[in-house]
Structure 1
Amino acid sequence: MPSAAPTPASPAPASSALSAFLRGIERRAFVFVQVQCGRDEVAQAALGRAMRAFREVSAHSPLSAWPAAFWALLVAQAELAEGQSDIPELGALSSGPRAALLLRIVAGLDFAHAAQVLGVSEPTYRFALQRALQQLGDAGVSYAVLGALRERLHRQVKTLPPERAEALAELRARVLRDAPEPGPVVPPPPSPWRRRLAWIALALLALAFAATFWPQTPALAPGGVQALPVEPAPAPMPAGSDADLVTHPDFAQIAAPGDEALAADLALLSWLASGEADAALGAAEQATPDPEADDAP
């Protein structure tokens, strides 16, 4: 009877020692990579890959070898050799001497462990470190400036922004669970209407441009005559009706034409009828002297 196929073994759960080690080193490691390559998201991605590789190495390595093994895996990430630091004091250093210096002032490794991380002998590492300090001196970076930079980077390790510290904690949790990294967020496809409207606008502009080449009516020469378009004569007004007569503004005069002369003398007749005319005539007679009375002896 054939035996059943063996079930692939699930990865061993991470130990509490590995969790404590990663928790204690993740902040310094992030600052190290960020200073070396100059980009936060790239630094966190490189740190995640180094953590995953170290998870496998830690399973068969003694605890004393963990620091050198971890930093060696971190320095081997391609982003550290290709990136450019955004720290002005380190602008004169190339990636190699810069990594040799950061292993001392950020990682805090001694000469022997730093040489082990870089895979070189201790004298070679000392020479590389001396070369880096000489380049900084030529660029005007003194030992006092370098010491201030060391203190600033140590404060940066302790005072990472809360959102970055939370992102590192989530990264460590995924590494310990051996969970895959979340895929990149794919933005939704753009609406096709925006592109269609752009094409419609372009077509309208093309039509407007083509219209400028259409033949137009030639301009009238000096002294020329151009016939006006023939317009139809307006329709005759219909004959007036009784309704038109009633609504006429002079309907009263049209209806009684004989009253026009009476209306003209209406003011005079009203004055005579009021008696004011007789009174005025009597007063005038009294005021006029009698010529016969003047001639009497």
Structure 2
Amino acid sequence: MTPAAPAPPSPAAVTAFLRGFDRRARLFAEVQAGDEASARHALAVVARVFASEAGQWPLAEWPRQYWRLLLAAPSMRKPRAVAIAPRLPGIARLAVDARAAVLLHLVAALDDADAAGALGIDTTTYQARIRDALPLDALGQPDVDVWRAWRAAAERELAQPVEPEAPPASATTPGSPATAHVAASIDADIRHRRRLRWLWVGVALCVLALVATFFLHPRGREVLDHWRAEIKREPLDPAAPPTSRFDAGDLSLHPDRELLSMPAELGVARQLPLLAWLEVAGADPRAADAVRLPVIVAAPDAAATAPAAGDASLARRAQRWDALPAKARAIQRGAWQAWRALEPAERLRLRATATRWGLLASEEQDVLRARFDALPADARHGWWLGPKMGRDWPRVAPLFAFVPEDQRAALLALLRSADAEDIDALERLAQITPPEERDALRLDLLRVPAAERRAWMLTKVQG
């Protein structure tokens, strides 16, 4: 005897399930597909398919199967070809697979196992997609602050009141006229694509048959033999010896030769945030907490900027450098790049500050270093941008802390050229702009000509 087929669920149960997922499904589909029309179309078709197949799964499996069916819709798997949707722009700009993985966790509220099952991958691969979707912080780790911002944005979107659909959710139940019309249009489109595919297959087979007939015919073989007979073959001349060969020991080819040739300069660069803070903190002698550094008359040691002489010493430093762990080399390269990004005048002042710092007793250095380490992490990171920008960084950090790599140079140039009134306006914009709207604000800020930028900012601030 064959086992009895499971009884199909009642239409009321399916309708209640779909209505409970409606808010999350709308947000998920709009962000994943990129436009509202494609999202509505996909939701209508998935509702019909789910209603017809729900009886084969236990009730506990319904959420996972629903999201699996939704992700199988063509519009959910296409790369973005339109502008980023206004909802959740930070997530919407991710690649297709990463975007689906993040939305399954933050919008669909699935755990790792169910989300991996909906995507058809194992849990380890799913967790790797989540990590790869996040930008890296200064230490090269996934930035959890970005994840928190995405979660907060998703919660705000889900808390927004939703306008009722037209037709209503009940129109997606099996047998409804609206669902039948959508399904019929999809079926007709699929049949049309199949007919076109078979038509092209037939054309290709005809072309292949024609070509085969030509070469099997005696006249065709004769033409082919004649064509091959006209090919002239001559041996090539012996290869000339290379003018030079790559030498791994050639220090002029070392990728980090510049910083290795100036060890004193690298030592100053590694202290950049502390030196920038010392210069600003000691600029006003009337302040109660001003930093007291020795006053020197002589100019900073010119050897700090001069390349160290001697190939032998450079070779020893290169050997020690190559033996360091990759992470340690990456940190020092980052310090060197931040140092070289400063204006020459800023570097000159910081070298003088480094000289005065070296004249302090170790106890005084410990006290000042403890004061610097007590600053908030965001403020300490801001001093890597130099004295001027480090002083103003805490005021504008919410707006510029997380930017795409292709915008970084332009935004740094904008901040370096900003005066006090510009910084005041940027601080106010950072306070009144929600996190999910800051990406669009930065793009608008870069598009405005420099001569009109202050008036534009003041207009935005005044509402």
CA distance in 1 between partners of 2:175 and 2:79 (Å) = 28
Match of 1:149 in 2: 150
- Counterparts in 2 of 1:135 and 1:93: CA distance versus 1, 3 Å: farther
What is the CA deviation profile of residues 165-211 of structure 1, one whole-angstrom value per residue up to 9, with x for unaligned ones?
233xx352122242232869xxxxxxxxxxxxxxxxxxxxxxxxxxx
Match of 2:50 in 1: 54
Alpha carbons 2:47, 2:173 under 8 Å: kept: no
- Cα shift at 1:137: 9.2
- Counterparts in 2 of 1:132 and 1:175: CA distance versus 1, 3 Å: same
Match of 2:38 in 1: 42
Give the 5 Å matches for 1:154-165.
Answer: 154-162=155-163, 165=164
CA distance in 2 between partners of 1:137 and 1:89 (Å) = 19
Give the 5 Å matches for 1:249-268.
Answer: none
What is the CA deviation profile of residues 120-149 of structure 1, one whole-angstrom value per residue up to 9, with x for unaligned ones?
1111111122111247999xx943343233
- Cα shift at 1:26: 1.2
CA distance in 1 between partners of 2:162 and 2:15 (Å) = 21
- Counterparts in 2 of 1:154 and 1:65: CA distance versus 1, 3 Å: same
Structure 1 letter corresponding to 2:67 = W
Match of 1:114 in 2: 115
- Counterparts in 2 of 1:172 and 1:123: CA distance versus 1, 3 Å: same
Structure 1 letter corresponding to 2:165 = E
Larger radius of gyration: 1
CA distance in 2 between partners of 1:143 and 1:125 (Å) = 17
| SS of alignment partner, residue 181 of structure 1 | helix
Give the 5 Å matches for 1:117-266.
Answer: 117-134=118-135, 142-162=143-163, 165-167=164-166, 170-181=167-178
Alpha carbons 1:33, 1:80 under 8 Å: kept: yes
TM-score, structure 1 length as denominator?
Answer: 0.50
| SS of alignment partner, residue 173 of structure 2 | helix
Alpha carbons 2:51, 2:174 under 8 Å: kept: no
CA distance in 2 between partners of 1:50 and 1:96 (Å) = 19
- Cα shift at 1:157: 2.2
2:73 pairs, out of 68, 71, 77, with: 77
- Counterparts in 2 of 1:91 and 1:13: CA distance versus 1, 3 Å: closer
Match of 1:89 in 2: 90
Alpha carbons 1:34, 1:40 under 8 Å: kept: yes
Alpha carbons 2:25, 2:43 under 8 Å: kept: yes
Query: By percentage of residues, which structure has more helix?
Result: 2
Higher relative contact order (CA 8 A, sep 6+): 1
Alpha carbons 1:29, 1:107 under 8 Å: kept: yes
Answering whether residue 61 of structure 2 is matched by residue 65 of structure 1, we say yes
What is the CA deviation profile of residues 98-126 of structure 1, one whole-angstrom value per residue up to 9, with x for unaligned ones?
10111011111001000100011111111
Length, aligned pairs only? 169
Answering whether residue 32 of structure 2 is matched by residue 31 of structure 1, we say no
TM-score, structure 2 length as denominator?
Answer: 0.33
CA root-mean-square deviation:
3.0
What is the CA deviation profile of residues 208-267 of structure 1, one whole-angstrom value per residue up to 9, with x for unaligned ones?
xxxxxxxxxxxxxxxxxxxxxxxxxxxxxxxxxxxxxxxxxxxxxxxxxxxxxxxxxxxx
Match of 1:100 in 2: 101
CA distance in 1 between partners of 2:135 and 2:17 (Å) = 35
CA distance in 1 between partners of 2:155 and 2:97 (Å) = 21
Match of 1:235 in 2: none
Alpha carbons 1:93, 1:136 under 8 Å: kept: no
- Counterparts in 2 of 1:27 and 1:91: CA distance versus 1, 3 Å: closer
Structure 2 letter corresponding to 1:53 = V
What is the CA deviation profile of residues 28-86 of structure 1, one whole-angstrom value per residue up to 9, with x for unaligned ones?
01100111122112111111111111111212211011011000000111111125342
Structure 2 letter corresponding to 1:175 = T
Alpha carbons 2:23, 2:158 under 8 Å: kept: yes
Runs of at least 4 residues off by over 4 Å: 134-138
| SS of alignment partner, residue 67 of structure 2 | helix
CA distance in 2 between partners of 1:67 and 1:26 (Å) = 12
